[in-house]
Structure 1
Amino acid sequence: MSARNAIEETAAYWLVRQGDGLSGEEQAQLDAWLNAAAEHKTAFWRLEYSWEKAGRLSALRGPDTLVEAMAETAPSASLRRGQPRWAVGLAATLALAVLTSTALLWPRPAHYATDTGERRLVALSDGSRVELNTETRLRASMSPDSREAWLDEGEAYFDVAHDASRPFTVHMGDRTVRVLGTRFSVRRDGDKVQVLVAEGRVRLSGPKSGPAAKPVLLVRGDVATGMGASVLQSRTSDQRVDDQLAWRRGLLVFDQITLSDAAAEFNRYNQTQLKVLDHQTAAIRIGGSFEATNVEAFVRLLQSAYGLEIDHDDGIVKISE
């Protein structure tokens, strides 16, 4: 029997005994076992949760099933000593039934996604809300003892409900953001990750090896950009925070960035793609507020304000002087 199965079996046994009422000595034994390892508590709570969700496993309620439970093959020797055979058999059956049903009852990660130019608001079961930006892939799992999300690609804004007993963790490859309750955005482009804190504080952890191994604490107005084993932390103003989160209002706000970078941002939101043909044009500085999905309006402004040449070619807009 594997160590994991032994833990699950022991947890199931104590769950059955607890249902019948524990003596003071038995309660002390249970407490000692639970406190011996975090895995013990996790297994016990998980089985208890699954049992409750299954209505205490109705499959075990009938007398025929109890007879079958009593006839089950006895589990590990550590449980056999001094325990009634029917209780050991029932514990073994309960462990098997709960382990089988857990795959159906225990919360699996929910998948959320947006297409090009789409935004989506997701309400999680813990009361948190997540806004997904264009071309984003997110998974989330809420359980009685943990709250986790995985940002596989794209950008998301998290408004996390406060819960001191269950920190909220966002995984982005080998980096994680851990919070109790706050508002922040995360953007992931391959190996590059950017975290912007709008309210509260978060803890950003990087790869376990390298200069970014030590967690970085970020507070309101902090921006952290991680790539590879490195992370760069900086401060910004409330206005810049609002500008960077303007996508939540369907806008792109540029503060004198290059046309090349502006085109790359527009390309995230539109099927029509912008292509800057020469370095001199790419270096032009752009400022202002623009509708993220109205690429044609942006192109017209480039043409009228800078006198640039615009050439439409099968879904690609070529820009040059």
Structure 2
Amino acid sequence: MDRRDTDVATELGIYDEAERWFVHLLEPDCPADARAAFERWLAADPAHAAAYRDIEQLWKQSKDALKDPAVMAAASRALLREPSVRSPKRWLIPTFAVGLAALLALAIVPRWLAPPADPAGIAYTTAAGQQQAVKLADGSSILLDTDSKVVVRYSERTRRVDLLHGQAQFTVQGNHAWPFVVHAGSGTVTAVGTQFQVRLDDQATDVALLKGKLAIAAQSPDGATQDASLVAGQALTYDQSGHITPVHPIDLQQAQGWTQGKLFVHDWRLPALIAEMNRYSDTKLQIGDPSLQDVHISGVFRTNDQQTLLLLLQQGWPIHARRISATQIELLRNR
């Protein structure tokens, strides 16, 4: 046996060990001393750790492959056709063997068995202060709010829209055989014949349903999924960790206000109003006096009319505005 053959044999031996440890650790009654022995084996050689990581990745991918009927059928055929070349005493449990075969089948399944990939998609973007109405091929429509971006991907299997940032209202033509799915943040919103809004920021995704029904699924970083549903007049929020808040009723006037270029404000704190108005302008307002943080505001404000907002604030509250740059205005308390 030459050196190359020796290296290959050594590598295969390490993978055999890694597989045995992986299966052994899956056992619910795996003793503590066995886990300690595994840790010693893992630390003994960087090649051990690398092989074990590969086995873990194979396991994850093979579990995913098991969900595909076409892959499973090909895997079963592969298992029936391929003679065993290893000892029947091998420590691979059946599920792991089938999972590895399913992973192998991914490479041999004909292209016509695999589901077609979603198309690249068409992107629609609005700048600060802009709104855009998008008519889709099936008669559905999207109303994009200020500083927002979506990518629309239609295929034979699904109607998919990715909301990358901002806010949009979706009016969907019903088709139970052709689901309309919005991907936003850590979750998805699936609709059939509905009108709803989705808003995505750095922290969370807000979903508000105006008509029809919705199904929401949010996924945590570790893959756990939480599900919820909405009927007309309800809303919820899910965050980046996949947690979904309890369902709550929506303020319909407030929810529809931005589609008319208005903010219906009911007892908002001044920072919240400023943050919302800033979304619609390149000139940003900022609070320069901490005592203004707890000022509460009510009223109706036009999203594209910052000057009128400033006049109303200065007339109705002890506030004055001071421009500090071409793109910044500071709000201070009158003394």
TM-score of Structure 1 vs Structure 2, range by shorter chain: 0.5 to 0.7
Q: Quick one: distance in 2 between partners of 1:197 and 1:264?
A: 24
Structure 2, unaligned runs of 5 or more: 1-67, 73-80, 82-109
1:232 to 245, 249, 265: 245
Indicate the residue corresponding to 2:69 in structure 1: 37
Q: CA distance change for structure 1 residues 173 and 243 in 2, over 3 Å: closer, same or farther?
A: closer
Equivalent pairs: percent with the same residue? 26
1:296 to 307, 311, 315: 307
Q: For each residue in 1:104-144, what CA deviation from the matched residue of structure 2 results, as whole angstroms up to 9, or x when unmatched? A: xx843110000001000001111110000000010011122
Return the offset for 1:212.
7.7
- Does 1:158 find its partner at 2:170? yes
Q: CA distance change for structure 1 residues 157 and 212 in 2, over 3 Å: closer, same or farther?
A: farther
Q: Quick one: distance in 2 between partners of 1:243 and 1:139?
A: 26
Task: Say which is worse superposed, 201-210 or 303-312, in terms of deviation.
Answer: 201-210
Q: Quick one: distance in 2 between partners of 1:148 and 1:275?
A: 38
Query: Any runs of at least 4 consecutive aligned residues in structure 1 with deviations exceeding 3 A, and if so which?
Result: 36-40, 208-212
Letter aligned with residue 117 of structure 1: G
2:202 to 153, 167, 190: 190
Contact 2:149–2:166 (Cα < 8 Å) also in 1: yes
Q: For each residue in 1:264-284, what CA deviation from the matched residue of structure 2 results, as whole angstroms up to 9, or x when unmatched? A: 000000111110123321211
Contact 1:308–1:320 (Cα < 8 Å) also in 2: yes
1:243 to 254, 268, 276: 254
Q: Quick one: distance in 2 between partners of 1:130 and 1:173?
A: 18
1:181 to 186, 193, 200: 193
Indicate the residue corresponding to 2:213 in structure 1: 201
Q: CA RMSD in A?
A: 2.7
Return the offset for 1:178.
0.8
Contact 1:133–1:154 (Cα < 8 Å) also in 2: yes
What TM-score, normalized to structure 2?
Answer: 0.63
Indicate the residue corresponding to 1:146 in structure 2: 158
Q: Quick one: distance in 2 between partners of 1:224 and 1:277?
A: 33
Task: Say which is worse superposed, 200-209 or 113-122, in terms of deviation.
Answer: 200-209
Q: Quick one: distance in 2 between partners of 1:317 and 1:145?
A: 49
Letter aligned with residue 159 of structure 1: T
Contact 2:185–2:240 (Cα < 8 Å) also in 1: no
- Does 1:308 find its partner at 2:310? no
Structure 1, unaligned runs of 5 or more: 1-35, 41-77, 79-94
Contact 1:272–1:316 (Cα < 8 Å) also in 2: yes
Letter aligned with residue 261 of structure 1: A
What TM-score, normalized to structure 1?
Answer: 0.65
Q: CA distance change for structure 1 residues 302 and 164 in 2, over 3 Å: closer, same or farther?
A: same
Return the offset for 1:292.
0.2
